[in-house]
Structure 1
Amino acid sequence: MGRRRGVMSEHFKEELAKELGFYNKVQQDGWGGITSKDAGNMVKRAVQIAQGKLKQN
C-alpha cells in the first residue's frame, strides 16, 4: 500500500502556512516539523476557505 497523495497543492499549503504564521518552520524543517496543532489549524482554514467558495456559488 503506497502513501496517500495530498489533496491540497504544495502552493496552497505554503500560502496557508504563511497566513497562519508558521511558514518559517516549514522552510527550516519541512512539513514534518510542524506541530499537530498547526496542521489542524491549516486543515480548519482550508475547510473555511472551501465553504466560503461553495457559498459564493
Structure 2
Amino acid sequence: MSRRRGLMSESFKEELAKELGFYDTVKKEGWGGIRSRDAGNMVKRAIELAEQRLGK
C-alpha cells in the first residue's frame, strides 16, 4: 500500500500547530501524537486561510 501524499507542506502544518498551541506535542511525539480535535482544528484553520486568500 503506497503512502498518500499530503496536501499541506510540513512547514505550513508546523505553523498552524504553533498558532493553535499544540506544536510541543508534535515536536515530542510527532503528528500521530496530536488529538483528533487538534487535527480537525488545524484543517479548519487551513480552510479559513485559503478562503481568505481566495476572497482577496
Shared fold (TM-score, shorter chain, > 0.5): yes
After the TM superposition, list the runs of 4 or more consecutive aligned residues in structure 1 that deviate by more than 2 angstroms: none
What is the identity percentage for the equivalent residue pairs of Structure 1 and Structure 2? 68
Question: CA shift at 1:38, angstroms?
Answer: 0.2
Provide the aligned C-alpha RMSD in A.
0.5
Give the number of aligned pairs. Answer: 56
Q: How does 1:3-14 map to 2 (within 5 A)?
A: 3-14=3-14
User: What does residue 45 of structure 2 align with?
Assistant: 45
Normalised TM-score (structure 1): 0.96
Any stretches of 5+ residues in structure 2 without a counterpart? none
Unpaired runs of at least 5, structure 1:
none
The normalised TM-score by structure 2 is 0.98
